[in-house]
């Protein structure tokens, strides 16, 4: 059976049966990888803390051509983000990021930026950057990486630019200026549009340098709606975030 090694972040781990767990990894080179971790559902198991959500590690696995799931054989923790992820003010935000990634990324998509992006966001939160702004930044780049983010400076209908305010099209494939808008309801102001453009040349640890004054809640809701539309899902974890209450 072919064998391989992957640098990866654990996005999800759940019992598959009484003995094993089903693990979803965000790998550095191969996108999403689903694998069985034999014996990991036992109280005492050889994987230990390796399968905690958002653990960054080196994972050894093998697979068979006739099976959809790989099988983990061993691994080593490179860096644990458990303290920052499990903190009361963070846990549901990272749960939301993980679910959005799982639902939006297409099988076989090997964009290495998403792995590096999530690592950078985790590290930025460790340094105390605001969680809601990091979530907005992450969603912008997740959509950008999947090729479904709109141009924040141009009306998709008439080409008008720049935009001081705009509305998301009902198919979420562009923006409409005030002259082209019809029944669209999801509105973004000039500050929100400028933030989206600003992220294209900024790293997550620079979010604290953003000079804008708007609250990011409306932007988070709009970006989440895009994830749900393009992923054809309802993100269950949004019910736990204050941005959706």
Residues 153 and 179 in one domain: yes
Residues 103 and 212 in one domain: yes
Residues 94 and 73 in one domain: no
Residues 122 and 88 in one domain: yes
DSSP the chain: --EEEEEEEEEEEEESSSS-EEEEEEESSSSEEEEEETTTTSSS-TTGGGGSTT-EEEEEEE--TT-SSEEEEEEEEEE--HHHHHSTTTHHHHHHHHHHHHHHSPTT---HHHHHHHHHHHHHHHTT--HHHHHHHHHHHHHHHTT----TTS-TTT---S-SEEEE-TTSSSEE-TTT-SS---EEEHHHHHHHHHHTT--GGGGGG----S-THHHHHHHHHHHHHHHTS--GGGGGSGGG-
**pLDDT tens-digit readout, 27-51:** 999 899 999 999 998 878 889 899 9
Residues 167 and 92 in one domain: yes
Residues 133 and 217 in one domain: yes
Q: What is the pLDDT of residue 111?
A: 75
Across 152-168, average pLDDT = 96
pLDDT higher than 90, residue 106: no
Residues 30 and 150 in one domain: no
Whether 245 is in a domain gets the answer: no
Q: How many structural domains comprise the chain?
A: 2
> Where in the sequence is the domain holding 207, given as residue range(s)?
84-240
Average pLDDT, the chain: 93
Residues 166 and 54 in one domain: no
Q: What is the pTM of this model?
A: 0.94
Across 200-218, average pLDDT = 93
Whether 178 is in a domain gets the answer: yes
pLDDT higher than 70, residue 1: no
């Amino acid at each position: 059976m072919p064998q391989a090694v992957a640098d990866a972040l654990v996005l999800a781990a759940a019992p598959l049966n009484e003995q094993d767990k089903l693990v979803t990894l965000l790998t550095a080179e191969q996108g999403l990888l689903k694998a069985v971790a034999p014996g990991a559902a036992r109280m005492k198991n050889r994987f230990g803390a390796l399968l905690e959500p958002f653990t960054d590690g080196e994972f050894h696995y093998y697979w068979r051509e006739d099976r959809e799931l790989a099988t983990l054989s061993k691994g080593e923790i490179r860096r644990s983000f458990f303290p920052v992820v499990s903190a009361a003010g963070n846990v549901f935000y990272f749960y939301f990021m993980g679910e959005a990634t799982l639902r939006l990324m297409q099988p076989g998509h090997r964009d290495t930026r998403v792995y590096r992006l999530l690592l950078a966001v985790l590290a930025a939160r460790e340094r105390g950057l605001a969680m809601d702004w990091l979530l907005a930044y992450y969603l912008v780049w997740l959509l950008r990486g999947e090729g479904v983010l709109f141009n924040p400076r141009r009306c998709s209908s008439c080409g008008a630019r720049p935009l001081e305010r705009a509305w998301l099209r009902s198919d979420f494939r562009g923006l409409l200026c005030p002259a082209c808008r019809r029944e669209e309801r999801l509105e973004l102001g000039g500050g929100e549009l400028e933030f989206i453009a600003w992220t294209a040349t900024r790293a997550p640890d620079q979010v604290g340098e953003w000079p804008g004054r708007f609250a990011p809640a409306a932007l988070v809701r709009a970006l989440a709606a895009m994830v749900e539309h393009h992923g054809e899902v309802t993100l269950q974890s949004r019910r736990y975030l204050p941005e959706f209450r």
